[in-house]
Amino acid sequence: MTAGMLLLWGCTEVDPQPIAGPLDGGWPAALLARPASLSEAIAADREGWIRLHRNDLHGALERGGEPGQRAAAALSQVEQDLALLSAAVWERTFSTWDSRSGIPAGSAMPVIAALAAIEAEAPDRARSWLARGGDYSDPAVADLAAQLSVSLDDVEGSGLAGCIAAHRLARAQQDLAPLSACPEGPLITEQTTGHSRTLYSPLIFGTLAAVHAPREAPLEGLAGLLFSSRWAAGDDGLAGTLTALGLTALTDDPQSARDLVRQLDAHLDAFSSGTSAVSTEGAAVLDELQLVAGYRARLLTDLARRHRDTPQVALALGQLALDVEHSRAVSTLNPPGLFVTLATASFQSGRSRAALEYLAPLASSWPEIVGLDETLSDLVVLEGLERLGDSKEN
């Protein structure tokens, strides 16, 4: 954030001016009319709000307070999306591995695949994978397999089973402390000829999402709207926001996504072009803090997430939301959920390598992404093999 931006966060009072334009009922319009309301809203923890503004969700969470509450809710949503993606990645990776060379004898892969299926609420897949196992090399894996069915409810004990039970407890208590029972890094490491095979837990994102899930009522006023995808306090969720902005509904056709973005951009451009006439200082706040552009990115990210079952639509929305000048980094205009949404849509479209590339901005700064990143990397190798090569199935 520039020095000019930091000064603007402490903006002064100006006389409210009448607002004119198609988007006159939202929080950006309120800031435009009364810039001092921004500094009032963030006064209790300016640093926390600055971190939230630049989409540093973990940093904002550490600060606690209102920005921490907002960051926790945003993190929980991203982690839910990562849980869905990771379950699909584990399933496709092990299925591809099995079809190419067979699951290695004694490997814990069927148990990991069963855990991923349980996370995806796919009991038939979980039973199928568990039926594939039997002669496990590691007694701890055999013990866990014997306890698993189609849920985590009956898993108890120490070691590997204790780690799985710890995830269940962490979710119930919304506290990460029980995960001290789990190893740092891979859940299981198997020794093979010439190297080791690392298998990560498919449960981590579901647990993080549960721990970060909102515990309090949503914040009211500007504190609940600032840096969000909601335009106004009266919006009833995403559908209400679209109605408030006068945007047409999406269909399963990617062209409808492009049409909606053009319509949105026309509204936002019309709003931005008239800001100086209302308040020079308010216009400077909106411009230097990129508040309207940031709002656009978050709204399109949420829209893409909502339409993940139609991946071509989600891809079109996500790609149009991405700040291409800084496309490899989380930033004010690139929320972390955007990269996860693009990765998910790419994966669902059969483009595993593209999904891996979209995860790269998070893999470098979110330690919990490592297992998903490594497993997806294995899948990319497997899918590109014409014959058995130097991948982890050897």
Provide the greatest CA pair distance for the chain. Answer: 76
| Element at 188 (helix H, strand E) | strand 188-192
Number of structural domains found in the chain: 1
Cβ neighbors of 310 (< 8 A, separation 6 or more) are: 252
Q: Could you tell me if residue 237 is inside a domain?
A: no
- Can you say whether residue 92 is alpha, beta or left, with left for phi > 0 and alpha for psi between -120 and 50 degrees? alpha
pTM value is: 0.90
Radius of gyration of the chain (CA): 23
Report the chain's terminal Cα–Cα distance, integer Å.
Answer: 48
Q: Could you tell me if residue 180 is inside a domain?
A: yes
pLDDT at residue number 27: 84
pLDDT 10s per residue in the chain (394 long)? 443 443 444 544 444 444 444 466 788 888 888 888 999 999 999 999 999 999 999 999 999 999 999 999 999 999 999 999 999 999 999 999 999 888 988 999 999 999 999 999 999 999 999 998 778 999 999 999 999 988 899 899 999 999 999 999 999 999 999 999 999 899 999 988 778 899 999 999 999 999 999 988 888 888 998 998 888 776 666 777 787 777 878 899 999 999 999 999 998 888 888 887 777 888 888 899 999 999 999 999 999 999 999 999 999 999 999 999 999 999 999 999 999 999 999 999 999 999 999 999 998 789 999 999 999 999 999 998 734 454 444 4
Contact assessment for residue 193 and residue 199, using Cβ atoms and an 8 Å cutoff: no
pLDDT at residue number 234: 67
Contact assessment for residue 246 and residue 24, using Cβ atoms and an 8 Å cutoff: no
Q: Report the half-sphere exposure of 159 (CA within 13 A, side-chain side).
A: 8
Domain range for 115 is: 78-212
Q: How far is the C-alpha of 78 from the C-alpha of 82, rounded, in Å? A: 6
Q: Could you tell me if residue 246 is inside a domain?
A: no
pLDDT at residue number 30: 84
What residue has token string 């994966």? 347
pLDDT at residue number 12: 46
Q: Could you tell me if residue 197 is inside a domain?
A: yes
Q: Could you tell me if residue 129 is inside a domain?
A: yes
pLDDT at residue number 29: 83
Q: Could you tell me if residue 172 is inside a domain?
A: yes
Q: How far is the C-alpha of 50 from the C-alpha of 181, rounded, in Å? A: 35
Distance (Å) of CA 278 to CA 25, 137, 194, 272: 14, 72, 69, 11
pLDDT at residue number 236: 62
Q: Could you tell me if residue 289 is inside a domain?
A: no
Q: How far is the C-alpha of 95 from the C-alpha of 99, rounded, in Å? A: 6
Cβ neighbors of 42 (< 8 A, separation 6 or more) are: 9, 48, 49, 67, 226
Q: Could you tell me if residue 309 is inside a domain?
A: no
